[in-house]
Structure 1
Amino acid sequence: MTDDHAATPQPGPQSAPQPGPQSAPEFAPPLDTDPAPAPAPTAEEQALAARAAEEQAAHRTRRRKAAVRWGCAVLVFALAGTGTALAVTAPERTDIPGLATAGDGRYTFPPLALPPLPSGKAAPNLKDKSKDKSAAVHLADLRYLLLPAPKEAGGSVNPPVFPAPTVPTGSASASPSASGTPSGTPSGAPSGTSSASASPSASGTASAAPEGAAPANWVSCDALLGDLQNPARMRTLLRQNVCRAATVREWTASDGTSTRIRLMRFGTSAEAWDTFSRTRSEIQLKAAPDARTATSSADGELPDGVEVTRKESRETAGKDVPTTRLAFVSASDVVAVITMTNPRGVPAAAFRQVVDLQSDLLA
């Protein structure tokens, strides 16, 4: 039986393309890679380029010269600074104009030194608070416990040299005379006699001291009475407490300030304390009859065992500086009376210096 519809032709397998000669591509002209030649620079452009190169070279030269100049300047300043530093630090500050500290009135003293003690004797121990005060007794020569004169008063700045130690004055074997002078002092010897004639027995002579370190003079305890307004009361006090020995040193400095330091030794610290406490409260000096207490025992810089009362006159010079300053010092069996006067006013720094140094020697 035949179909009504014609048979649809089925797709057959396509044949693979057969290799064969292909058509050659059309010819493309080669690309030209070389740029067109630049036009030659004009004379003006060449001149500008040359000028720019010259400016760059000149700029580099200027920078090099500036670097050399600054380097030289830095080197010069460094050398100058080093030289200045050496010039300032090498000499003493006081020798450089403009840097020296302005003087405040203090003096130039030699280095303080304590005199030698007799063989087998100990230095006083003012810190001892026990009832036995024998350990606080000063056994050295009292004259060498005085503060030396400063350079401004013609004194030496060399350390003192002391003679061989001697037997202490004011010991149990040395009894005071009726006038209060040290044992061995000739009767009627005037105040201020030399140690050769008025020194206590066995106390070294002045000739034993080298030149420039002569000791102060021994004086009668009554010599202090000439400085007082009420000498009778002081004489009674010295007799009651039995002053054993006394010495004095005085000087006048270049600033016009006169200084007098008196030391008095007593048999015991109790006798010395009674004299000190009554003198500072009851006795008035002729140099300052209206003296008033400035400070008393409030100085934390004082050595242990030393008591100081400072007074100053009501009469003052410029800037309310008193013309007279006083100090009473108690150091166990020794009492010191320091008087400094100057019509132009006694510098506070110099007064404090003298009091502190004398206190150090007695401590």
Structure 2
Amino acid sequence: MSEQTAAPATEEPEVLAPAMPPMPSVPPTPAVPAPRPPRRVLRAVARWTTAVLVFGAVGAGTTYGITSMERTDVPGLATESDGRWDYPKLSLPALPADRPRPGSDGNPLEIHYADLRELLLPAPAGATLDKKLKGGWVTPERFMSEFVATDRPGIARTLREGTLRHIAARGWTMPDGTSNRIYLLRFSSADDADAFRDERYIGASSAGAPLHGAHEMRLDESWKGGGEVDGTVAYVFSEPKPFDSAQVREAYVVAGDTVALVVQSREGGGGTPRVPFHQTVILQNQLLG
């Protein structure tokens, strides 16, 4: 994937070129967010301690994109030196007519009007697709299966009471055995998505409900927040040693009305590679930003 520049298109969506630090040379022009209800601010302030780095979104119209980066900074580009996965060229779907992007003027609820399934990160080259997670809709029960059984009733209650609209998911396995699963949960508004995060105790100091197969999750201190989009936040965790047969890594991305969960694991004593995990979180973040 070569150097690309993506900007909001008027007819066709431009190619999305994901990026890692350093920051883009073109200054971002973030939209002014709508005021938040005091209840939400007070509830969320204790957890919004993870640093959010701005990654510019430019222009107007029915689609939106990012600024160009040097070839060596593009996280979608596979390299032999750091183990990045070879993702295909990414493009953002066109929005329905007269529908603004999340965070822009006229969209105070920060709703993603694009088809949620088209905002899922595609599988990289060489991946074997998960036949049960093909990039379509999944049930809350399938999402809850990622967590330990004792926490599933609480998660089900939160989803039931939290105006959940849809869940889309895609999964794959890489040749080295790394398993990747991405879930996108869309709620009725950004406040409802934030409420899910808060009620499930997801934040900079807590990964929330424990994942199935992981004995403990700790904040990933190697995560630098590169490529995060203004107005979104990512919470990134990894299972510390000694882990069982597979090390688990997970990340939550909160972007407007949508919460993304990214889970990776790999069997074997070597653990789950950090670089492609961070790359995956960055790219999924940029598709939702």
TM, length-normalised to structure 2:
0.63
Query: Given residue 151 of structure 1, which amino acid in structure 2 is its aligned partner?
Result: A
Q: Mind listing any 5+ residue stretches in structure 2 that lack a counterpart?
A: 1-77
Match of 1:261 in 2: 182
Give the superposed CA RMSD: 2.7
Count of residues in correspondence between the two structures:
200
Match of 2:140 in 1: 221
| Contact 2:239/2:248 (8 A) holds in 1 | yes
**2: distance between equivalents of 1:101 and 1:289?**
32
Which secondary structure state, in structure 2, belongs to the residue aligned with residue 342 of structure 1? strand
Is 1:349 aligned to 2:275, yes or no? yes
More helix by share: 1
Q: Give deviations 1:104-147, integer Å, cap 9, x for gaps.
A: 22100111101121122122226x7x9x723x210000001000
Structure 2 matches for 1:1-363, cutoff 5 A? Answer: 102-125=80-103, 133-134=108-109, 136-153=110-127, 216-229=135-148, 230-279=151-200, 280=202, 281=206, 282-295=208-221, 299-315=225-241, 323-344=247-268, 345-363=271-289
Cα distance change on mapping 1:300 and 1:147 into 2, 3 Å: closer
Which secondary structure state, in structure 2, belongs to the residue aligned with residue 264 of structure 1? strand
Q: Mind listing any 5+ residue stretches in structure 1 that lack a counterpart?
A: 1-99, 156-190, 194-214
**2: distance between equivalents of 1:352 and 1:297?**
7
Query: Given residue 121 of structure 1, which amino acid in structure 2 is its aligned partner?
Result: R
Q: Percent identity?
A: 34
Query: Given residue 220 of structure 1, which amino acid in structure 2 is its aligned partner?
Result: T
Which secondary structure state, in structure 1, belongs to the residue aligned with residue 263 of structure 2? strand
Larger radius of gyration: 1
Cα distance change on mapping 1:293 and 1:273 into 2, 3 Å: same
| Contact 2:103/2:256 (8 A) holds in 1 | no
Deviation at 1:228, TM superposition (A): 0.9
Cα distance change on mapping 1:109 and 1:284 into 2, 3 Å: same
Which secondary structure state, in structure 2, belongs to the residue aligned with residue 356 of structure 1? helix
Q: Give deviations 1:15-73, integer Å, cap 9, x for gaps.
A: xxxxxxxxxxxxxxxxxxxxxxxxxxxxxxxxxxxxxxxxxxxxxxxxxxxxxxxxxxx
Q: Which has the higher contact order (CA 8 A, sep 6+)?
A: 2
Query: Given residue 292 of structure 1, which amino acid in structure 2 is its aligned partner?
Result: R
Cα distance change on mapping 1:300 and 1:342 into 2, 3 Å: closer
| Contact 1:296/1:310 (8 A) holds in 2 | no
Match of 1:67 in 2: none
Deviation at 1:316, TM superposition (A): 5.0
**2: distance between equivalents of 1:342 and 1:332?**
31
Query: Given residue 227 of structure 1, which amino acid in structure 2 is its aligned partner?
Result: E
Which secondary structure state, in structure 2, belongs to the residue aligned with residue 144 of structure 1? helix
Deviation at 1:292, TM superposition (A): 1.4
